[in-house]
Structure 1
Amino acid sequence: MEKEFPIIETARLILRAVTSEDADDMFHYLSDYDVVKHIGLAPCKTVKDVLDEINWYQSIYEDGTGIRWGITLKNSGKVIGSCGFLNMASKHFRTEVGFELSKEFWGNGIAGEALEAVVKYGYHHFQLERIEALIEPANLPSQKLVEKQRFKREGLLRHYEYTCGKFDDLYMYSIIKEDLKFS
C-alpha cells in the first residue's frame, strides 16, 4: 500500500510532491549555476538530469529516509524550488533539511516560508527532536535564512562532503524541538 504524500499549505505556497510533469519547471532553476552551486549538484544539462533528481525525491520518500516537497505559488502551481528532509535517522529523531529556490524568487521570503512550514511539519508529524542544516561557508544567504528560523551554528565540518570534484567544508546548523514554541 502506497502512503499518500502530504501537502503543506502556507499563506502563499503549496508544498507538494513533484512529478515528471514538473521536470520542465524544475529544469529552469536546476540548470542555473547560481541556484545549485552550494548544494552539491552540477547544473542540470538536460531534462533527463531533472528526472533523475525527481526519481531521487521519490526514492527517499518510499524508503523512509527523507521527503522533498516542490515549492509552488498558490496562484500558479508551477514548481519554483524544493525543500525537505534527507538522511532521516528516526532511531535518533533527527534529520537534515535542504532547500533551493529559483533565482527570480530570491529575496521575497519564500524560502523562509517554506522552511518554516517544513520544520513545523517535521516536529509535528515525524516526532523529530533535531533538524540539521549543512551549509557551505560561502553560502551566506542560506546561513542568514536558517539563522532567521532560529537554527544555531554548531561548528565547521572540514572536508565533510565530496561533490562536483572537490571536498566541501560545511557549517553544521541545528534547531531542536525546545528552540521552538508551537501553537
Structure 2
Amino acid sequence: MKQKEEINVSSHDDLAFDLRPIRHRDCQAIWDILKDPQVQTFNDYDADITKGDVYDFIQGDIERFYNQQGIRLVIVLRSSGQVIGSVGIFNIIDGQGMLGFELSSQYFGKGIMQKVLDMLFEKLTTFVPAPLNSVLALVNQNNSASIKLLTKCGFQQDDAHWVKHVS
C-alpha cells in the first residue's frame, strides 16, 4: 500500500500547512514538541520520554499504517517546512479508532488544530483505507481547549470518551 505523500491545506498565508505521513526523520521535531511542559500538561506521554521512545512510536505508527490499523500525519508549516505537530487515528478495530494529536505550544490558540481535524475527517478515506464508523478521543477533563476543539469538530461526550460518528 502506497502512502499519500502530502495533502495541501489552505489556511492563513503565514500559517498555511501540509499534512503528510510521519517518517523516522520527524523524530527530533516530535520529541521537541512532546518535551515541552505546556504540551506535557495534558498529553499522555511520560515527562521523561526519550528520543528513542519517539523513534519507536514512529516505527509503530508506520507499521499500523501498513496493517490498516491507523495513521499518524505530521503538520508541516508550508513557509518553513517545520514540523509543528501531529495527528493520528490509531487502533482501528471493528470500525472504531482512537484520535490523538499534539501541537507545538507556540501555535496554541491559532485555530490550526481545528483546520487539521476538519481536513483529516474531510479526507478520511484517503488517509484511512480501513472501514471506520466512529472515532473516539480521551481528554483530560481539565483540558478545556481540547474539549472545545472536539466539540467544534462534531465530537460528543459519551461517559469518559468523546465520540464522532463518521459513516
TM-score, normalised to structure 1, is 0.78
Matched with 2:138 is: 134
Matched with 2:13 is: none
Structure whose alpha-carbon radius of gyration is higher: 1
Cα distance between partner residues in 2 of 1:42 and 1:103: 17
Which amino acid in structure 2 is aligned with residue 175 of structure 1? Answer: K
Is the contact made by 1:123 and 1:129 (CA closer than 8 Å) also made in structure 2?
no
**Does residue 13 of structure 2 align to residue 9 of structure 1?**
no
Question: C-alpha root-mean-square deviation of aligned residues, in Å?
Answer: 1.9
Cα distance between partner residues in 2 of 1:25 and 1:84: 16
Is the contact made by 1:29 and 1:101 (CA closer than 8 Å) also made in structure 2?
yes
TM-score, normalised to structure 2, is 0.84
**Does residue 157 of structure 2 align to residue 174 of structure 1?**
no
Bigger relative contact order (CA 8 A; separation at least 6) = 2
Secondary structure of the 2:97 match is strand
Cα distance between partner residues in 2 of 1:133 and 1:177: 13
Gaps of 5+ in 1: 157-171, 179-183
Cα distance between partner residues in 1 of 2:7 and 2:48: 27
Secondary structure of the 1:71 match is strand
Cα distance between partner residues in 2 of 1:123 and 1:23: 26
Is the contact made by 1:27 and 1:44 (CA closer than 8 Å) also made in structure 2?
no
Residue 175 of structure 1 deviates from its aligned partner by 1.5
Question: 103-112 or 48-57, which moves further after superposition?
Answer: 48-57
Mapping of residues 1-183 of structure 1, within 5 Å: 3-6=1-4, 7-11=6-10, 12-43=16-47, 45-89=49-93, 92-122=94-124, 126=129, 127-156=131-160, 172-177=161-166
Cα distance between partner residues in 1 of 2:24 and 2:166: 35
Distance 1:47 1:149, change over 3 A: same
Is the contact made by 1:20 and 1:51 (CA closer than 8 Å) also made in structure 2?
yes
Cα distance between partner residues in 2 of 1:97 and 1:45: 20
Cα distance between partner residues in 1 of 2:68 and 2:118: 21
Distance 1:36 1:57, change over 3 A: farther
Gaps of 5+ in 2: 11-15
Cα distance between partner residues in 2 of 1:61 and 1:44: 27
Question: 46-55 or 78-87, which moves further after superposition?
Answer: 46-55
Cα distance between partner residues in 1 of 2:165 and 2:51: 37
Q: Counting strand residues as a fraction of each chain, which structure ranks higher?
A: 1
